[in-house]
Amino acid sequence: MIVVVACLLVAMLALMGLVTDAGMVQCNRRHAQRAADAAAQAGARLLLGGQSASNVASAISAASYYAVQNGTLSGNVAVEIPPTSSAYFNGSNGYVRVRVTRPVNTTFMRLFLRQPTVNVAAFATAGVVRRPGDLTVLVLRPDDEGLEVEGNATLDVGNGSIHVNTSGPEAVEVQGNSLIVAKTLNIVGGYEVNGNSEIRADIVTQASAMEDPFKDVVAPVIISTSSVRYGDGATGGKSDDSGGTATKPATRNIAGNQAVTLHPGIYWGGLNVSGNASVTFLPGRYVMAGGGIRMTGTGNVIGSDVFIYNTNDPYKNSQSGAVDEIEIRGNRYVDLKAPTATADAYYKGFLIFDDRTHASEIEIEGNGSMVGSSPLSGYIYSAKGELEVEGNGTLGGFGAVVYEMEVEGHATFTILDKSRTPNMPAVSLVE
């Protein structure tokens, strides 16, 4: 019996060693994986601002820091930008690969293997991918004042986020009885709240500047007196409803009690809707070549899967041919929706796209334009222009990426429609 017990004891000790040490190895493997995941995502977040040498260096530093913060020795962290050992992302500067190693002390197994420690390793790759996000407002202006909310205004984006790239101490200024409501408010600089104003959001100051998420989207280009080339290579011509030509631009005026259906294409001299006129935009791409758009008075303006590009007439860049602002004023009801991917795969989610070379203004003012559960759907993009909102009501499920923004009314945003939201850079684990 002694001999049998002695033999069984060896087996029991070996089994205990397997259970104990294997459990410790597995536990440390999970810790290593969590550290690698967190480090890779932290590094990739720094690449949202671009892939310059300084951003890459900051990303490597951030990845190493968060790996150490999660219980890893600094000597046991390896960060690769671009990854050189990834299964799918070798050489891609937009991705961060992190390798974390953790030494594990053995107990019973060292009696059999004569190995006091074993190393476990975990890998994670994160990168910048493009997908619909929850960013509702991005202000691109780098200096002075980027976002102003004043008077009795309310800027309410619900669970959306606001990001302001302005670096000054008053990058965001809230005055009077104003209110900002958001899930997060990220500011490169600082903010100032005066009077009875309030900000209801998780505020982060000294945040990193966010790169223009749409900088790589190719804007339409007018290539002749009768045609325009779009970012996806497709071409289009003059709309039959245009008020003028390339050399003789004239604003198309729709007034009185007219009910008009508009067709896509180039509008040489822009568009003006006034009085009680009602307008229906057919699905498609509209190019305002000078003159901009003005919608005043009462009546309805409706359209689904509509993309509007606001630029100048390159053949007569003065007066009616010059780039002009977009105005929605008065008690007019507007129900405009940006394209879905099915309707327009390239300009999906863009309702209004301003020429990047001009600093034009987009103004939404009045009560009627805000009526309805979702009067506007899509994004307003103006890399050098200002979005100004006045009046009361619900703006709809739309977002804004603009140079600067001013709110003097109750601008309430509803939930973004992901099917009509442009794809934006976001951080995601990919391996």
Q: Express each pLDDT in 151-166 by its tens digit.
A: 888 888 888 899 999 9
- pLDDT band for 7, please (50, 70, 90 cuts): confident
Q: Of 264, 236, 237, 266, which Cα lies nearest the Cα of 249?
A: 266
Strand partners, 426: 129
Q: Which are the contacts of 376, defined by CB distance < 8 A and separation ≥ 6? A: 334, 336, 337, 351, 395, 396, 397, 398
Per-residue tokens: 34: 């969590």
- Mean pLDDT calculated for residue range 341-347: 94
- Mean pLDDT calculated for residue range 274-297: 92
Is residue 277 over pLDDT 50? Answer: yes
User: Cis bond leading into 82, ω under 30°?
Assistant: yes
Give the pLDDT confidence score for residue 373 in this predicted structure.
47
Give the pLDDT confidence score for residue 370 in this predicted structure.
46
Of the ranges 26-40, 79-93, 330-344, which one carries the lowest mean pLDDT score? 79-93
- Mean pLDDT calculated for residue range 209-216: 88
Phi, psi of 369, deg, nearest 5: -70, -10
Phi, psi of 40, deg, nearest 5: -65, -40
Task: Note the maximum CA span of the chain.
Answer: 111
291: left (phi over 0), alpha (psi -120 to 50) or beta: left
Give 140-196 pLDDT, tens digit per residue. Answer: 999 888 999 988 888 888 888 999 999 989 999 998 888 899 999 999 999 999 888
Percent above pLDDT 70 for the chain = 90
Of the ranges 37-46, 83-92, 307-316, 376-385, which one carries the lowest mean pLDDT score? 83-92
- Mean pLDDT calculated for residue range 33-50: 86
Give the pLDDT confidence score for residue 2 in this predicted structure.
81
| HSE-CB of 215 using CA atoms within 13 angstroms | 11
Buried b (16+ CB within 10 A) or exposed e, 31-63: bbbebbbbbbbbbbbbbbbbeeeebbebbbebb
Is residue 32 over pLDDT 60? Answer: yes
Give the pLDDT confidence score for residue 14 in this predicted structure.
63
First to last CA, the chain: 55
**Strand ranges, E, within 2-112:** 77-80, 95-105
Give the pLDDT confidence score for residue 18 in this predicted structure.
65
- pLDDT band for 300, please (50, 70, 90 cuts): confident
**Strand ranges, E, within 106-234:** 117-131, 135-139, 147-149, 154-156, 161-164, 172-174, 179-187, 191-193, 198-204, 221-224, 227-229
Of the ranges 85-94, 127-136, 376-385, which one carries the lowest mean pLDDT score? 85-94
Handedness of CA 214, 132, 86, 25 (dihedral sign): positive
- Give, as one character, the DSSP assignment of residue 3: H
Is residue 81 over pLDDT 60? Answer: yes
Q: Which are the contacts of 169, defined by CB distance < 8 A and separation ≥ 6? A: 189, 190, 192
Assign 177 to helix, strand or coil.
coil
The predicted model scores a pTM of 0.79
57 or 307, which is more confident? 307
- Mean pLDDT calculated for residue range 83-104: 83
Give 227-273 pLDDT, tens digit per residue. Answer: 999 999 999 999 999 999 998 999 999 998 999 999 999 999 999 99
